[in-house]
Each structure stands twice: as structure tokens, then as C-alpha cells.
């Protein structure tokens, strides 16, 4: 019996360290493993709450975990609603984009075909020196960029086919007029120049 007491006394736990004294087992007990695992789990949860809190900048620095979760849920709902709204807008824009309106204006010497920010300008005129340079100057004056130009001519007349684009200019002129108005003003000026020569 005394030997058994000696063995029990020899294996008595040290309450402060949580390890068995004596016995020389050296292995971790089930209870110690559980405590270590629980500490790791709590640390991981704490890190996850910190990460979640960092994603919600509207929250104060010190806040309880239930508030973090509640705000995260509300924020996710807001994001879902925003996503839904943006998807609807995208679909509407795509549908409207498929129904692009083409508009045409014509005068005796100039025809304007307009589609969005792009236009096809056709100028047919008796041969006149400096006409192409004048057309380009007028387009530049109205902040319209020439994308391409094709010229056909014979002994009597010239035909100019110009693809122009409105965009990129952000000054008072381009803000005061719509794209349609800018092209119409330019074409009107071309027509006046042709009629006055």
C-alpha cells in the first residue's frame, strides 16, 4: 500500500504547470491537448473577427463580435442589392445598344449619317482647291476627330467620304453642345463654304 501511495504521490500533478510530476511519461495528456487545441481555435476565431472588422470601415475600433457579424450581414445584403441593380442596368444598356438609332441629314452637297459618337460625312462637289483641308479644319474646329477619309475624283468633281468621331474633348465647347449638334454645325459650315465658292 505504501508503495502504491508512493507511486501516486510521485505522479501527482503540479497544478501550476498542468504537467504530471515524476513518472517520466513525457507525453501530452488528452486534457492538455484539448486545452491547446481550444486556444488555437479561439486565436483563429479572433483573427477572423479582426479580418471581418477590417472589411467594415464604418464600425468603431472597439466593438463586440455580435455587432461585427450583424454589420457584415447587412453589408452583404447591401452589396447583393447593388449587384442586382448594376446587372439590370447592364442588361438595359445592352438592349438599348442593340437598337442603335441611325440618323441622316442631307443638303445638296453634304450628307451626314450619325450613329452615336460616330458619323459618316459625304461631300460631293465640283473640284475646288483646298476643299479637303477646309473640311478637316472645320471638323477640328468643332472638336471632331477624323478616323478615316476616302477621296474619289474625276475631271469635274470630287467625292469625299469621311468617318469622324466625337469624343475625348472636355472643354466648354463640347459640354455646351451635344454630339448631334456638333456634327450638324460642322456639316452646316461645310455646306456654307461650298455654296459661297
The whole-number pLDDT of residue 6 equals 46
pTM for the model stands at 0.48
Strand residues in 6-156 grouped as ranges (E): 103-106, 110-115, 118-126, 144-153
What is the distance between the alpha carbons of residues 122 and 106, in angstroms, rounded to a whole number? 9
The whole-number pLDDT of residue 43 equals 94
Does residue 120 belong to any structural domain of this protein?
yes
Q: pLDDT tens digits for 36-50?
A: 999 999 999 999 988
What nine digits make up the cell of 174? Answer: 463640347
Does residue 49 belong to any structural domain of this protein?
no
All residues at 6 or more sequence positions from 101 whose CB lies less than 8 Å from its CB, including other chains: 115
Does residue 50 belong to any structural domain of this protein?
no
The whole-number pLDDT of residue 121 equals 94
What is the distance between the alpha carbons of residues 118 and 138, in angstroms, rounded to a whole number? 16
Does residue 145 belong to any structural domain of this protein?
yes
What is the distance between the alpha carbons of residues 70 and 59, in angstroms, rounded to a whole number? 11
* Strand-strand pairing, 144-153 and 157-166: antiparallel
H or E stretch covering 184 = helix 179-196
CATH number at residue 170: 3.30.70.260
Does residue 9 belong to any structural domain of this protein?
no
Does residue 69 belong to any structural domain of this protein?
no
Residues of the chain predicted below pLDDT 50: 1-12, 15-16, 20-24
Does residue 68 belong to any structural domain of this protein?
no
Does residue 11 belong to any structural domain of this protein?
no
Domain of 130, in residue numbers:
103-196
What is the distance between the alpha carbons of residues 165 and 146, in angstroms, rounded to a whole number? 6
Total domains in the fold of the chain: 1
The whole-number pLDDT of residue 197 equals 67
The whole-number pLDDT of residue 111 equals 93
What nine digits make up the cell of 38? Answer: 481550444
H or E stretch covering 162 = strand 157-166
Amino acid at each position: 500500500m505504501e508503495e502504491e501511495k508512493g507511486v501516486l504521490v510521485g505522479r501527482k500533478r503540479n497544478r501550476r504547470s498542468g504537467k504530471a510530476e515524476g513518472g517520466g511519461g513525457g507525453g501530452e495528456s488528452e486534457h492538455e491537448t484539448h486545452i491547446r487545441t481550444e486556444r488555437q481555435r479561439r486565436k483563429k476565431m479572433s483573427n477572423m473577427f479582426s479580418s471581418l472588422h477590417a472589411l467594415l470601415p464604418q464600425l468603431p475600433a472597439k466593438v463586440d463580435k455580435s455587432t461585427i457579424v450583424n454589420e457584415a450581414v447587412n453589408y452583404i445584403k447591401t452589396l447583393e442589392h447593388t449587384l442586382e441593380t448594376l446587372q439590370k442596368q447592364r442588361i438595359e444598356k445592352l438592349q438599348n445598344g442593340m437598337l442603335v438609332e441611325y440618323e441622316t441629314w442631307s443638303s445638296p452637297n453634304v450628307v451626314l449619317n450619325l450613329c452615336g459618337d460616330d458619323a459618316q460625312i459625304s461631300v460631293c462637289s465640283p473640284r475646288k482647291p483646298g476643299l479637303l483641308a477646309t473640311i478637316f479644319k472645320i471638323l477640328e474646329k468643332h472638336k471632331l476627330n477624323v478616323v478615316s477619309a476616302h477621296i474619289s475624283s474625276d475631271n469635274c468633281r470630287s467625292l469625299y467620304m469621311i468617318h469622324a468621331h466625337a469624343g475625348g474633348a472636355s472643354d466648354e465647347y463640347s459640354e455646351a453642345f451635344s454630339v448631334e449638334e456638333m456634327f450638324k454645325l460642322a456639316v452646316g459650315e461645310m455646306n456654307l463654304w461650298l455654296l459661297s465658292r
